[in-house]
Structure 1
Amino acid sequence: MTGEAMLRPRHYVDTRPFDPGASEPGGTESEAFYRASSWRLTWWKFRRHRVAVAAAFVLLAFYLMVPFVEVIAPYAQSKRHGDFLYAPPQGVHLFHEGRFVGPFVYPYRFTFNLETFRRDYVVDAGQPQRIRFFCKGDEYEFWGLRTMRFHIVCPPRDGTMFLLGTDRLGRDLFSRILYGARISLTIGLVGIAVSFALGLFFGGLAGYLGGWVDHVVQRMIEILRSLPELPLWMALSAALPPNWSPILVFFGITIILGMLDWPGLARAVRSKLLALREEDFVRAAELMGASRTRIIARHLIPNFMSHLIASATLSIPSMILGETALSFLGLGLRPPVTSWGVLLNEAQNLAAVQLHPWLLLPIAPVIVVVLAFSFMGDGLRDAADPYH
């Protein structure tokens, strides 16, 4: 025993915070560790997973961007540039002829090639055009409440700024990817909310009640899991009425994705409840007259909520990929709605991709978001595991 420990009072309690960087609590940190709640322990362990923390910051940046897409995008969602169809990406430069000018782009000049029947774009390197910041640009309805023209970044006056090129109608691809993020990222959260609710309901009933209820729920899960996922998505999406508005189609696709993803979560809830329903605190609640609904909602589910959040986080990428796949095949969201899958639908033509490869750029944010969710979900799962 050290001299510092001998001088402590008999009932000394260490209140210093636990260091999450340490592999195991020891000495003066042990009391804070063993007095911490399960949520705090999960947070401490999650902070040690640097890749998961970095992925969480990436996702936070994406979702913070969603409400302000109109302000961030340099062009309006459907603005067309008839003179710049299939224009390649314009590079951003800082120096012109050895002199610092600031962020600028070189304008395009095009000629129509009568041999290939294509537009040949030539960079005019003699006229740098400066990019404007915090400026007035295309008009938009901010959240449908107020007409505004303020943009963080604007194209040069009497010039263009196509950072990722344009599509077949001359629409800026970078702006459309930003607008598409609103739908593609939101559909994952709404879909997992539907899946989460169904999984908790059916998994809770099967795990706590058991008996014939458990058998019925298990057979339902086995039937759904035995069906091929993508063809079932395609069949249900094709059944949506073609005259539905974009909003109804959005909610229809979301409900379809959520209803087909709940079996995995329901099985996780069932297995946890089967292990917890025999614990002493459950018996005590039953003897005190607590209802089954209260026992499940107030005593059982909170004991493994961190595991459920980790499982739900790992399911969101499948929702995003499902919407992207359906929209890519023309069975999901349709124009004028813009999502990453709708943008990739224009890349189905192999000839168009060969001639205009920048049409495949909407796949980049899909890959980044899916990987970020996977890394963050792995970190949450490890942090929520008491034996890890």
Structure 2
Amino acid sequence: MESRTALVLRQFRKHRLAVWGMRILVVLYTLSAFAGFFSPYDPGYYETYPPKNNHPPTPIHFVDPETGRLSRPFVYATKRELDPVTFQPRYVEDPSQGKFYLRFFVRTPEQPYTLFRVFKSDLRLVGVDPPARLFLFGTDNFGRDLFSRVLYGGQVSLTIGILSALVSFVLGLVLGGIAGYFSGRPFPLSFPPATWRGRRLLYGPLLSLAWLLLALGIGFLAYEYVRVSPGFGLADVLIGLVGAVGVYFALRAAFFRQVQLDPDDLIMRLVEVIAAIPSLFLLISLRAVFPQNIDPLLTFYLVVGLLGFIGWGGLARVVRGIVLSVREMDYVQAARALGASDLRIIFRHVLPATSSYVIVSLSLTIPGFILGESGLSFLGLGVTEPYTSWGLLLQAAQQGGFASFTDRPWVLVPGFFIFLAVLSWNFMGDGLRDALDPRRRQ
């Protein structure tokens, strides 16, 4: 009898677009992972003289013009001159300096790199001898090789897509599982001092202290808003009333009345609040809370966390619905009757039932995070120099105005890679959905 894994793989292979999407993703991630090896130059390398800014892609010749026969691939050096019609600088080939053959597996000790931030190397796949240059995708406005920057930008954009999806996956799976499994089983959020007996004597004071700190925080925020606002108007009155009500209920929970809350209500209301705010607006607002001049590496992790935080709600809602039905199954009831703990039941019996949906959801969520990172970087709120990403490269192209379309269209190449990665992930997600769904199997 054919195993479930073999059945899923056989069904997945029947989806041609999904197979090709997976192949394209393997190529993209391989190129990005070994960007130092595949790129001819360091992503930040440029020359001040002779300038190479906005250099078009370098033509590679395979036919020797002198003999008309096939030859080893070679390029010519270029020289910069002024166009007599448009008075704009242009680059033309200079055959007088001879032919410069492409060399493979070349050493570049002046431009070393690291693989996975561990292994140091200076070996590159292809290169040419100076003064010729190999610009496969041309250069940007600083003269940096765009092909190398696209490969290094893929490291950031593609990695952020996966890491953000994993953050969203963990939050959605855990919180959705808790909301579904503990639905209808409220737990106490506070114990007034009058009930501090036995076990409550251990954590009762801590909960009361937490509510007291919350009351102080609400009061402080309301006071600061009223203090710094110009004049005194209706908004100040409303903020003051809201702050007073918040302080009252927090103090009431800390000292007078026990508060109980259903985890399902708490988590689902949070999901609804996040879903009610447009994702891009929420993302920009959360990013604007942090300073713009923070460390670029910290910015990378910040973008990962923000994207994951705003993207877990949909997964949690579906997981909750699945768990609500699974927790009533006979095998779950049997495990509970045998004395299994709630934690064991959730991770051993309940959450595995959501695996098919989670795998598909994860593959379809990643392209959304890639687009989210690209949008943030395009707006100048994402990854910053010296790191680069596809969105940051598009921002540089946008700064060139309409000339980026007419005079130097090669600077728009990063947009094609965003489109290719998103489309490939969507194709693969469709294939996984068809392969894991028994109703869609052929």
Q: Shorter-chain-normalised TM-score: which range?
A: 0.7 to 0.9
Give how far 1:65 is off.
Answer: 2.6
The letter of the residue matching 1:199 is G
TM-score (norm 2): 0.76
The whole-number CA distance in structure 2 between the counterparts of 1:92 and 1:217 is: 58
SS in 2 for 1:361: helix
1 CA distance for matches of 2:56 and 2:177? 54
Instruction: Tell me the distance in 2 between the aligned counterparts of 1:145 and 1:46.
Output: 36
Give, in whole Å, the separation in 2 of the partners of 1:377 and 1:209: 31
Matched positions, count: 354
Q: CA deviation at 1:64?
A: 2.4
Offset, 1:146: 5.0
Note the alpha carbon deviations across 1:3-41, whole angstroms, 9 max, x for none. xxxxxxxxxxxxxxxxxxxxxxxxxxxxx14xx23x443
Q: Counterparts of 1:244 and 1:292 in 2: how far apart (Å)?
A: 42
For residue 330 of structure 1, what is the aligned residue in structure 2?
A: 380
Q: 8 Å contact 1:139–1:148 — kept in the other structure? A: no
User: Secondary structure of the residue that 2:293 maps to in structure 1?
Assistant: coil
Per-residue deviation at 1:145? 4.2
Q: Which residue of 1 aligns with 2:112?
A: 140
Deviation, structure 1 residue 343: 0.8
Segment drifting more, 202-211 vs 98-107: 98-107
TM-score (normalised: structure 1): 0.87
Deviates more, 1:40-49 or 1:197-206: 40-49
Q: Which moved more, 1:100-109 or 1:79-88?
A: 100-109
Aligned partner of 1:24 in structure 2 is none
What is the Cα deviation at residue 94 of structure 1? 1.0
Which residue is 2:351 aligned to?
A: 301
Q: Are the aligned partners of 1:133 and 1:151 in contact in 2 as well (CA < 8 Å)?
A: yes
Question: Retained in 1: the 8 A contact 2:77–2:131?
Answer: no
8 Å CA contact retained: 1:240, 1:252: no
SS of equivalent to 2:54: coil
SS in 2 for 1:122: strand
**CA drift at 1:386:** 2.2
Pick closer, same or farther for the CA change 1:78–1:285 going to 2, 3 Å: same
Q: 1:358 to 1:65 in 2, by over 3 A?
A: closer
Distance, in Å, in 2 between the alignment partners of 1:387 and 1:216 is 35
Deviating more after overlay: 361-370 vs 114-123: 114-123
Mean Cα deviation higher: 273-282 or 192-201: 273-282
Q: Tell me what 1:286 maps to.
A: 336
Query: Which of 23, 26, 32 is the aligned partner of 1:66?
Result: 32
Relative distance call for 1:361 and 1:66 in structure 2 (3 A) is: closer
Looking at structure 1, the residues matched to 15 and 354 of structure 2 have their Cα atoms a distance apart, in angstroms, of 20
Deviates more, 1:191-200 or 1:134-143: 134-143
How do residues 337-348 of structure 1 correspond to structure 2 at under 5 angstroms? 337-348=387-398
Partner SS, residue 102 of structure 1: strand
What is the deviation of 1:242? 2.3
Instruction: Extract unaligned runs of 5+ from structure 1.
Output: 1-31
Does residue 160 in structure 1 map to residue 128 in structure 2?
Answer: no
CA displacement 1:127-152 (0-9 Å, x = unmatched):
43211111112522323445432111
Distance in 2 between residues matched to 1:270 and 1:315, nearest whole Å = 18
Correspondence 1:198 to 2:171:
yes
Which residue pairs with 1:130 in the alignment? 101
Q: Which residue of 2 aligns with 1:14?
A: none
Aligned equivalent of 1:362, options 399, 414, 417:
414
Q: Distance in 2 between matches of 1:279 and 1:230?
A: 40
1:173 aligns with 2:138: no
Question: After alignment, is 81-90 or 325-334 more displaced?
Answer: 81-90
Tell me which residue corresponds to 1:119.
89
For residues 233 and 117 of structure 1, the distance between their equivalents in structure 2, rounded to whole angstroms, comes to: 43
- Do the aligned partners of residues 117 and 169 (structure 1) sit closer, same or farther apart at CA in structure 2, a change above 3 Å counting? farther
Q: Tell me, yes or no, if the aligned pair for 1:96 and 1:128 is still in contact at 8 Å.
A: no
Aligned counterpart for 1:47 among listed residues 7, 13, 19: 13
Contact residue 73 and residue 175 of structure 1 kept, 8 A: yes
1:105 is paired with a residue whose SS is: strand
* Structure number, greater radius of gyration: 2
- For residue 77 of structure 2, the aligned residue among 96, 100, 107 is 107
Does residue 90 of structure 1 match 2:58?
Answer: yes
What secondary structure is seen at the aligned counterpart in 2 of 1:104? strand
Q: What residue identity is the alignment partner of 1:367? A: F
Letter of the 1:259 counterpart = F
Greater displacement, 43-52 / 274-283: 43-52
Tell me what 1:374 maps to.
Answer: 426
Matched, 1:272 2:300: no
Q: How far apart are the structure 2 equivalents of 1:67 and 1:369?
A: 15
Structure 1 position 188, deviation (Å): 0.7
Equivalent position amino acid for 1:356 in 2: R
**Shift of residue 99 of structure 1?**
1.8
Q: Deviations over 1:33-75 (max 9, x none)?
A: 4xx23x4432232122121112112112222233321111000
| Residue 125 of structure 1, CA deviation | 5.0
Q: Which residue of 2 aligns with 1:219?
A: 269
Q: Give, in whole Å, the separation in 2 of the partners of 1:289 and 1:89.
A: 69
List alignment gaps of at least 5 residues for structure 2.
Answer: 185-261
Matched residue SS, 2:135:
coil
Of the three residues 128, 151, 170, the one matched with 2:124 is: 151
Per the alignment, do residues 42 and 301 of structure 1 end up closer, same or farther by CA in structure 2, a change over 3 Å counting?
Answer: farther
Q: Which residue of 1 aligns with 2:41?
A: 75
For residues 216 and 268 of structure 1, the distance between their equivalents in structure 2, rounded to whole angstroms, comes to: 16
The code of the aligned residue for 1:161 comes to L
